[in-house]
Chain A
Amino acid sequence: DTAVSQTPKYLVTQMGNDKSIKCEQNLGHDTMYWYKQDSKKFLKIMFSYNNKELIINETVPNRFSPKSPDKAHLNLHINSLELGDSAVYFCASSQASGDTQYFGPGTRLTVL
Protein backbone atom coordinates (compact mmCIF):
# COMPACT_ATOMS: atom_id res chain seq x y z
CA ASP A 1 0.00 0.00 0.00
CA THR A 2 1.41 3.35 -1.00
CA ALA A 3 1.46 5.77 1.93
CA VAL A 4 1.63 9.00 -0.06
CA SER A 5 0.71 8.88 -3.72
CA GLN A 6 0.86 11.52 -6.40
CA THR A 7 -0.49 11.68 -9.91
CA PRO A 8 0.72 12.13 -12.50
CA LYS A 9 4.34 11.02 -12.20
CA TYR A 10 5.34 13.01 -15.27
CA LEU A 11 3.74 16.09 -16.74
CA VAL A 12 4.91 17.78 -19.93
CA THR A 13 3.03 20.85 -21.06
CA GLN A 14 3.29 24.12 -22.93
CA MET A 15 3.79 27.54 -21.39
CA GLY A 16 0.56 29.24 -20.52
CA ASN A 17 -1.37 26.04 -19.84
CA ASP A 18 -3.11 25.16 -16.57
CA LYS A 19 -2.38 21.84 -14.88
CA SER A 20 -3.14 19.99 -11.65
CA ILE A 21 -1.23 17.52 -9.53
CA LYS A 22 -3.08 15.31 -7.07
CA CYS A 23 -1.83 13.98 -3.77
CA GLU A 24 -3.36 11.48 -1.40
CA GLN A 25 -2.10 10.02 1.87
CA ASN A 26 -3.55 6.98 3.62
CA LEU A 27 -1.59 7.42 6.85
CA GLY A 28 -4.28 9.33 8.71
CA HIS A 29 -1.98 12.33 9.06
CA ASP A 30 -3.24 15.80 9.89
CA THR A 31 -0.60 17.83 8.09
CA MET A 32 0.26 17.87 4.39
CA TYR A 33 2.82 19.79 2.37
CA TRP A 34 3.90 20.67 -1.13
CA TYR A 35 7.58 21.08 -1.96
CA LYS A 36 9.36 22.14 -5.12
CA GLN A 37 12.72 20.55 -5.91
CA ASP A 38 14.75 22.34 -8.55
CA SER A 39 17.40 20.95 -10.86
CA LYS A 40 20.07 21.40 -8.19
CA LYS A 41 18.01 19.26 -5.80
CA PHE A 42 17.23 22.18 -3.52
CA LEU A 43 13.98 21.43 -1.68
CA LYS A 44 11.72 24.39 -1.00
CA ILE A 45 8.49 24.33 0.99
CA MET A 46 5.57 25.83 -0.89
CA PHE A 47 2.51 25.15 1.24
CA SER A 48 1.58 23.51 4.49
CA TYR A 49 -1.94 22.45 5.42
CA ASN A 50 -3.24 21.24 8.75
CA ASN A 51 -6.69 19.67 8.95
CA LYS A 52 -7.58 21.10 5.53
CA GLU A 53 -6.58 24.62 6.55
CA LEU A 54 -3.75 26.53 4.90
CA ILE A 55 -1.05 27.23 7.46
CA ILE A 56 1.96 28.24 5.42
CA ASN A 57 2.25 29.87 2.02
CA GLU A 58 5.90 30.48 1.37
CA THR A 59 5.50 33.49 -0.95
CA VAL A 60 4.45 31.26 -3.78
CA PRO A 61 2.97 33.09 -6.81
CA ASN A 62 -0.81 33.09 -6.75
CA ARG A 63 -0.75 31.10 -9.99
CA PHE A 64 -0.31 28.17 -7.60
CA SER A 65 -3.48 27.26 -5.76
CA PRO A 66 -3.57 24.32 -3.37
CA LYS A 67 -6.85 22.72 -2.46
CA SER A 68 -7.53 20.29 0.34
CA PRO A 69 -11.00 18.72 0.00
CA ASP A 70 -10.33 16.55 3.05
CA LYS A 71 -7.45 15.68 5.37
CA ALA A 72 -6.23 12.89 3.10
CA HIS A 73 -5.92 14.99 -0.06
CA LEU A 74 -3.93 18.05 -1.02
CA ASN A 75 -4.05 18.95 -4.69
CA LEU A 76 -2.01 21.58 -6.46
CA HIS A 77 -3.39 23.58 -9.38
CA ILE A 78 -1.07 25.74 -11.42
CA ASN A 79 -2.34 28.42 -13.80
CA SER A 80 -0.47 30.01 -16.70
CA LEU A 81 2.55 27.74 -16.45
CA GLU A 82 5.98 29.32 -16.96
CA LEU A 83 9.33 27.84 -17.92
CA GLY A 84 10.59 28.42 -14.39
CA ASP A 85 7.91 26.14 -13.01
CA SER A 86 9.77 23.13 -14.40
CA ALA A 87 10.82 21.07 -11.40
CA VAL A 88 9.92 18.01 -9.39
CA TYR A 89 7.02 18.62 -7.03
CA PHE A 90 6.78 16.50 -3.91
CA CYS A 91 3.80 16.07 -1.68
CA ALA A 92 4.40 15.00 1.92
CA SER A 93 2.47 14.40 5.09
CA SER A 94 3.17 14.17 8.80
CA GLN A 95 1.16 13.27 11.87
CA ALA A 96 1.86 16.63 13.45
CA SER A 97 3.87 19.70 12.64
CA GLY A 98 7.58 19.24 13.10
CA ASP A 99 7.21 15.47 12.93
CA THR A 100 8.66 12.97 10.46
CA GLN A 101 7.45 13.64 6.95
CA TYR A 102 6.48 10.96 4.48
CA PHE A 103 7.05 11.92 0.89
CA GLY A 104 5.24 10.98 -2.26
CA PRO A 105 7.12 9.76 -5.35
CA GLY A 106 7.18 13.20 -6.92
CA THR A 107 5.77 14.71 -10.11
CA ARG A 108 8.28 15.83 -12.70
CA LEU A 109 6.82 18.87 -14.41
CA THR A 110 8.39 20.05 -17.65
CA VAL A 111 7.16 23.28 -19.19
CA LEU A 112 8.12 23.78 -22.84
Chain B
Amino acid sequence: AQSVSQHNHHVILSEAASLELGCNYSYGGTVNLFWYVQYPGQHLQLLLKYFSGDPLVKGIKGFEAEFIKSKFSFNLRKPSVQWSDTAEYFCAFGNTGGFKTIFGAGTRLFVKA
Protein backbone atom coordinates (compact mmCIF):
# COMPACT_ATOMS: atom_id res chain seq x y z
CA ALA B 1 0.00 0.00 0.00
CA GLN B 2 1.14 3.53 -0.67
CA SER B 3 2.09 5.37 2.49
CA VAL B 4 4.33 8.00 4.03
CA SER B 5 5.90 7.57 7.42
CA GLN B 6 7.23 10.51 9.39
CA HIS B 7 9.44 9.39 12.21
CA ASN B 8 8.78 12.10 14.74
CA HIS B 9 5.41 13.40 15.80
CA HIS B 10 6.72 16.13 18.06
CA VAL B 11 10.11 17.79 18.08
CA ILE B 12 11.24 20.50 20.49
CA LEU B 13 14.44 22.40 19.76
CA SER B 14 16.16 25.51 20.97
CA GLU B 15 16.97 28.28 18.54
CA ALA B 16 20.15 27.68 16.53
CA ALA B 17 19.89 23.91 16.94
CA SER B 18 20.08 21.76 13.85
CA LEU B 19 17.00 20.01 12.56
CA GLU B 20 16.45 16.75 10.76
CA LEU B 21 12.97 15.34 10.21
CA GLY B 22 12.74 11.82 8.86
CA CYS B 23 10.40 10.74 6.09
CA ASN B 24 10.06 7.39 4.35
CA TYR B 25 7.60 6.51 1.64
CA SER B 26 6.25 3.25 0.35
CA TYR B 27 5.73 3.10 -3.40
CA GLY B 28 7.40 1.10 -6.10
CA GLY B 29 7.31 3.59 -8.95
CA THR B 30 8.59 7.04 -9.80
CA VAL B 31 7.52 9.63 -7.29
CA ASN B 32 7.44 13.36 -6.80
CA LEU B 33 8.38 14.22 -3.23
CA PHE B 34 7.32 17.22 -1.19
CA TRP B 35 7.67 18.87 2.15
CA TYR B 36 4.86 21.22 3.09
CA VAL B 37 4.77 23.50 6.12
CA GLN B 38 1.74 24.71 8.04
CA TYR B 39 2.40 27.66 10.35
CA PRO B 40 0.01 28.07 13.27
CA GLY B 41 -3.44 29.02 12.06
CA GLN B 42 -2.42 29.00 8.42
CA HIS B 43 -2.82 26.78 5.38
CA LEU B 44 -0.24 24.39 4.03
CA GLN B 45 2.39 25.81 1.72
CA LEU B 46 5.20 24.24 -0.20
CA LEU B 47 8.60 24.18 1.47
CA LEU B 48 10.47 22.25 -1.20
CA LYS B 49 10.02 19.50 -3.75
CA TYR B 50 11.93 16.87 -5.68
CA PHE B 51 10.86 15.67 -9.10
CA SER B 52 14.13 14.59 -10.69
CA GLY B 53 17.79 15.55 -10.98
CA ASP B 54 20.01 16.50 -8.06
CA PRO B 55 18.72 14.51 -5.06
CA LEU B 56 19.67 17.34 -2.72
CA VAL B 57 17.05 20.04 -3.05
CA LYS B 58 16.93 23.42 -1.44
CA GLY B 59 13.76 25.15 -0.42
CA ILE B 60 12.67 28.35 1.21
CA LYS B 61 13.94 29.68 4.52
CA GLY B 62 17.15 27.66 4.50
CA PHE B 63 15.54 24.23 4.40
CA GLU B 64 16.90 21.39 2.31
CA ALA B 65 16.02 17.75 1.78
CA GLU B 66 17.84 14.77 0.37
CA PHE B 67 16.21 12.04 -1.68
CA ILE B 68 17.85 8.67 -1.12
CA LYS B 69 16.19 6.30 -3.52
CA SER B 70 17.66 3.14 -2.03
CA LYS B 71 16.22 4.02 1.35
CA PHE B 72 12.91 5.43 0.06
CA SER B 73 13.68 8.45 2.18
CA PHE B 74 13.34 12.20 1.84
CA ASN B 75 14.59 13.73 5.07
CA LEU B 76 14.26 17.44 5.78
CA ARG B 77 17.14 19.41 7.27
CA LYS B 78 17.98 22.86 8.47
CA PRO B 79 21.34 23.70 10.04
CA SER B 80 20.04 26.34 12.45
CA VAL B 81 16.37 26.71 13.33
CA GLN B 82 14.65 29.90 14.34
CA TRP B 83 11.67 30.54 16.58
CA SER B 84 9.66 31.37 13.45
CA ASP B 85 10.13 27.80 12.20
CA THR B 86 7.62 26.61 14.76
CA ALA B 87 5.05 24.83 12.61
CA GLU B 88 3.68 21.50 11.45
CA TYR B 89 5.72 19.82 8.71
CA PHE B 90 4.23 17.33 6.27
CA CYS B 91 6.11 15.01 4.00
CA ALA B 92 4.18 13.87 0.92
CA PHE B 93 4.59 12.07 -2.35
CA GLY B 94 2.64 12.10 -5.55
CA ASN B 95 2.87 10.12 -8.73
CA THR B 96 2.11 11.66 -12.08
CA GLY B 97 -1.21 10.34 -13.32
CA GLY B 98 -2.18 9.03 -9.93
CA PHE B 99 -4.34 12.03 -9.00
CA LYS B 100 -3.55 11.51 -5.38
CA THR B 101 -0.84 12.86 -3.13
CA ILE B 102 -0.16 10.85 -0.01
CA PHE B 103 0.63 12.86 3.10
CA GLY B 104 2.43 11.76 6.21
CA ALA B 105 0.91 12.32 9.63
CA GLY B 106 2.95 15.47 10.16
CA THR B 107 5.66 16.50 12.62
CA ARG B 108 4.99 19.31 15.02
CA LEU B 109 8.12 21.37 15.54
CA PHE B 110 8.36 23.78 18.45
CA VAL B 111 11.39 26.04 18.61
CA LYS B 112 12.14 27.63 21.95
CA ALA B 113 13.37 31.22 21.81
Contact = CB atoms under 8 A, between A and B. Distances in A.
Contacts of B105: 40-42
B94 A99 contact: yes
Contacts of B94: 97-99
A42 B32 CA distance: 20
A10 to B, nearest CB: 12
B43 interface: yes
A98 B95 contact: yes
Interface stretch (B16-24, B61-69, B72-80, B96-104): B96-104
Interface of B: 31-32, 34, 36, 38, 42-46, 49, 88, 90, 94-103, 105-106, 108
A76 interface: no
Interface in A86-112: 90, 92, 96-106
B106 A42 contact: yes
Contact of B32 (A98, A102, A106): A98
23 contacts: A40-B105, A42-B105, A43-B44, A43-B90, A43-B103, A45-B101, A48-B100, A55-B99, A56-B100, A96-B96, A97-B94, A97-B100, A98-B31, A98-B32, A98-B96, A99-B96, A100-B46, A100-B49, A101-B34, A101-B44, A101-B101, A102-B46, A103-B36
Which of A40, A45, A98, A99 gathers the greatest number of chain B CB atoms within 10 Å? A98
